[in-house]
Amino acid sequence: GLCQPVWRFQVSSALKEGHVTPTELCQRCLALIKSTRFLNAYITVAEETALKQAEESEKRYKRGQPLGVLDGIPIAVKDNFNTAGIETTCASNMLKGYISPYNATVVQKLLDQGAVLLGKTNLDEFAMGSGSTDGVFGPVRNPWSYSRQYKEKSAPKSHSEDKESNWVITGGSSGGSAAAVSSFTCFAALGSDTGGSTRNPAAHCGVVGLKPTYGLISRHGLIPLVNSMDVPGILTRCVDDAAVVLGCLAGHDPKDSTTIQDNFKPFELPSLPDVSKLSIGIPKEYHAPGLSSEILALWSKATDLFKNAGAKVIEVSLPHTRYSIVCYHVLCTAEVASNMARFDGLEYGHRSDMNKSTESMYAATRREGFNDVVRGRILSGNYFLLKQNYENYFIKAQKVRRLIANDFLKVFGSGVDILLTPTTLSDAVLYREFIKEDNRTRSAQDDILTQAANMAGLPAINVPTALSERGLPVGLQFIGRSFQEKQLLTVAKWFEKQVKFPMIQLEDVKRHNHDVFQHEKSASFS
Question: Among all residues, which ones are annotated catalytic?
Answer: 78, 173, 197
Residues 6+ apart with CB under 8 A from 320: 400, 403, 404, 407
Q: Does 376 bind other proteins (CB under 8 A)?
A: yes
Judged by beta carbon, residue 267 or residue 348, the one nearer other proteins is: 348
- CA-CA distance, 146 to 86, in Å (whole number)? 30
Strand pairing partners for 281?
314, 419
Contact map string, positions 128 to 147, toward other proteins, x by CB under 8 A: --------------------
* CB-based burial label for 300 (10 Å; 0-12, 13-18, 19+): exposed
Q: Does 120 bind other proteins (CB under 8 A)?
A: no
Near other proteins by CB under 8 A: residue from 383, 499, 503, 519: 383
Site for other proteins in 163-222 (CB under 8 A): 214-215
Q: Does 17 bind other proteins (CB under 8 A)?
A: no
- CA-CA distance, 458 to 473, in Å (whole number)? 24
Near other proteins by CB under 8 A: residue from 261, 300, 518, 522: 261
Q: Does 413 bind other proteins (CB under 8 A)?
A: no
Judged by beta carbon, residue 64 or residue 101, the one nearer other proteins is: 101
- CA-CA distance, 219 to 259, in Å (whole number)? 8
Near other proteins by CB under 8 A: residue from 16, 252, 301, 410: 252
Strand pairing partners for 253?
256
- CA-CA distance, 423 to 400, in Å (whole number)? 22
Near other proteins by CB under 8 A: residue from 4, 158, 257, 276: 257
Q: Could you tell me which stretch among 73-81, 293-301, 321-329, 461-469 binds other proteins (CB under 8 A)? A: 321-329
Whether the Cβ atoms of residue 493 and residue 173 lie closer than 8 Å to each other: no
Q: Does 440 bind other proteins (CB under 8 A)?
A: yes
Amino acid, single-letter form, for residue 220: H
Q: Does 72 bind other proteins (CB under 8 A)?
A: no
* CB-based burial label for 107 (10 Å; 0-12, 13-18, 19+): buried
Near other proteins by CB under 8 A: residue from 16, 34, 37, 375: 375
Near other proteins by CB under 8 A: residue from 46, 190, 225, 330: 330
Tell me the closest approach of the beta carbon of residue 158 to other proteins, in angstroms: 38
Tell me the closest approach of the beta carbon of residue 360 to other proteins, in angstroms: 6
What does each C-alpha distance from 230 to 205, 282, 314, 357 come to in angstroms?
21, 25, 30, 34
Q: Does 466 bind other proteins (CB under 8 A)?
A: no
- CA-CA distance, 424 to 196, in Å (whole number)? 10
Q: Could you tell me which stretch among 113-121, 152-160, 176-184, 251-259 binds other proteins (CB under 8 A)? A: 251-259
- CA-CA distance, 356 to 349, in Å (whole number)? 19
Q: Where does 165-247 show beta strands of DSSP type E?
A: 188-193, 208-211, 231-236
Judged by beta carbon, residue 50 or residue 331, the one nearer other proteins is: 331
Write out the H or E segment, with its range, that includes residue 491.
helix 485-499
Q: Does 98 bind other proteins (CB under 8 A)?
A: yes
- CA-CA distance, 516 to 526, in Å (whole number)? 16
Q: Does 254 bind other proteins (CB under 8 A)?
A: yes
- Of the candidates 463, 470, 172, which has an alpha carbon nearest to the alpha carbon of residue 292? 470
Q: Does 64 bind other proteins (CB under 8 A)?
A: no
Tell me the closest approach of the beta carbon of residue 409 to other proteins, in angstroms: 11
Site residues for other proteins per CB under 8 A? 98-99, 101, 214-215, 228, 252, 254, 257-261, 320, 323, 326-327, 329-330, 333, 337, 344-349, 351, 354-363, 366-367, 370, 372, 375-376, 378-380, 382-384, 386, 392-393, 395-403, 405, 438, 440, 444, 456-457, 482
